[in-house]
Amino acid sequence: MELVDKVRTALFDLKDEDTKVCFGSDATVVGIAPYGWVDHYSPVPIVASPSDKTEKGAALADWMQTVLDVWKTMT
């Protein structure tokens, strides 16, 4: 409930300039699928990162590298 209250406050309390809420208009999605199977090719999204067009390329590259590192470690 605490998180819901924080979101509500961020949306409706215009005096609190330290809290920012952004609405993503596009998203970068990372999906996985079996590479060698042609009969059951069903990509599954594992990450969806909404963007409000303020994210810079370096930040995108950082979280993409994290996804790749975790994937490599876990497989």
State pTM to two decimals: 0.55
Domain ranges of the chain: 24-75
- pLDDT digit string (tens) for 58-68? 888 898 899 88
CB 30 within 8 A of CB 64: yes
Q: Is pLDDT above 80 for 75? A: no
Tokens (6 digits) for 42: 């069903």
